[in-house]
Amino acid sequence: MKKIVICGGHLTPALALIEQFENDKNCQILFFGRKYATEGSESLSAEYRVITQKGIRFFSVETGRLQRKFTKFTIPSLLKIPLGFLESFIFLLIERPTLIISFGGYLSVPVVFSGWLLGIATIAHEQSIIPGLATKINSIFAKKLFLSWPQTLSYFPKEKCQVIGNLIRKSIFKTSAKSIKISQFLNKSKKLILITGGNQGSHFLNKLVFTSLDIFDNYHIFHQVGTANFKGDWDFAARLKQKNYLAIDYIQPEDIGAVLNKASVVISRSGANTVWELAALAKPAILVPLPIAALGEQKANAKILEKAGSSIVIGQKDTDSKVIKTAVGQIITDYAKYKNDAQKFQKTLPLDAALKMALFIRKFCV
């Protein structure tokens, strides 16, 4: 049996690929990731929770990164960078996988570089229209680059690249939830709004929800707070008791489809995987791009759906309760238009990226 290492900070496409190998007896998946949600956090990351629940061997790589702003964790994070390379090298030396698959993020860099030193082939997938620094570095050592958007081709050597779209989980197309608590809430929900800042969560969006619940009296609110529990966001959300509000720290893969399909409107950041899934399900959305995202990546992602006519994009500095209320009202009032535009764009998306990537990977498993 051949060993395949999956690494990187983007869990959603990794799960889509893992689904392709669940019954494959020729390949064994190993996962290199972060155990904790953020630097200095005691909360387990979404990737650690989900991957270990699947019974996949998880290797915790403790490495640092170049942070976008100076905090008390900046210096300790920089000092951990050599540790990440050492851990990655030792893990790979012991396990001797046939292939490394990178989904970007700072954690992937020491894994890919160490693999190159050991003569282990790497393939990478970039989800964003503007590639992150990690994928740019990894592309030097990677054998093959799979891209989500044709616009990204200009950043890399074309002979290495193939545009296949983003990998999408089968679970997002499911309409029933495994969780009884979630299922009961969805069954009673009318005009459901999903609010999410991604797996780790967004303190800005969380705080906006906490101070604006009164403007959502006519809606049911499903709030994914995130695993980071930054400034006690999850602790605060768990104490809120309103019939039209349900908070979850992380929506499990077996429940995400039911929540997304039930939602009339989604309010979220505009990470690449969020944007792709909203497009794949033709969901009208209000997007608040993370302003400090590398090279304006989230703004570029959001512009894709804004141009398609399915979303309203609002800058973080312009976002408050009044603006959100107006945007929600605008979409609900003209819902047929937003939904129709979303469905038109949905038809342009390739939805078989996970299968295409799996077929390429299986060449290494024979």
Summarize pLDDT for 137-185 with one digit per residue, the tens.
Answer: 999 999 999 999 999 999 999 999 999 999 999 999 999 999 999 999 9
Domain boundaries, the chain: 2-168+351-362, 173-346
Phi, psi angles (nearest 5°) of residue 129: -70, -30
| 2-168+351-362 belongs to CATH 1.10.10.10 | no
**Tokens encoding 43:** 């909360």
Residue 37: per-residue pLDDT: 77
Q: How many helices (H) and strands (E) in the chain?
A: 15, 13
The Cα 301–Cα 89 span in angstroms is: 34
C-alpha separations of 119 from 2, 114, 122, 123, 222 in Å: 15, 9, 9, 13, 47
What pLDDT, on the 0 to 100 scale, is given for residue 78?
64
Three-state SS for 28?
Answer: strand
The region that residue 119 occupies, defined by phi over 0 for left and psi between -120 and 50 for alpha, beta otherwise, is left
Runs of H (alpha helix) within 31-179:
46-53, 74-79, 81-95, 108-117, 133-141
Residue 173 three-state SS: helix
Rama region for 201: left / alpha / beta (φ>0; ψ in -120 to 50; rest): left
How far is the first Cα of the chain from the last one, in angstroms, to the nearest whole number?
Answer: 9
Two structure tokens written together for 77: 């994070």
Q: What does pTM read for this prediction? A: 0.92
Q: What is the pLDDT of residue 293?
A: 75
Q: In sequence order, which ranges of the chain are alpha helices (DSSP H)? A: 11-20, 46-53, 74-79, 81-95, 108-117, 133-141, 180-188, 203-210, 233-239, 253-262, 272-280, 297-308, 321-333, 335-346, 353-362
pLDDT of residue 64: 66
For the chain (366 residues), the mean pLDDT of every run of 10, in chain order, is: 92 96 92 85 88 96 67 63 92 97 95 97 96 94 97 95 97 96 95 94 95 91 92 92 94 96 97 96 97 86 97 97 96 97 97 96 85
Q: What's the pLDDT at 70?
A: 54
pLDDT at res. 313: 98
Assigned fold of 173-346: Rossmann fold (3.40.50)
pLDDT of 299-358, one tens digit each? Answer: 999 999 999 999 999 999 999 999 999 999 999 999 999 999 999 999 999 999 999 999
Which residue from 138, 135, 134 is spatially nearest to 148, judged by alpha carbons? 135
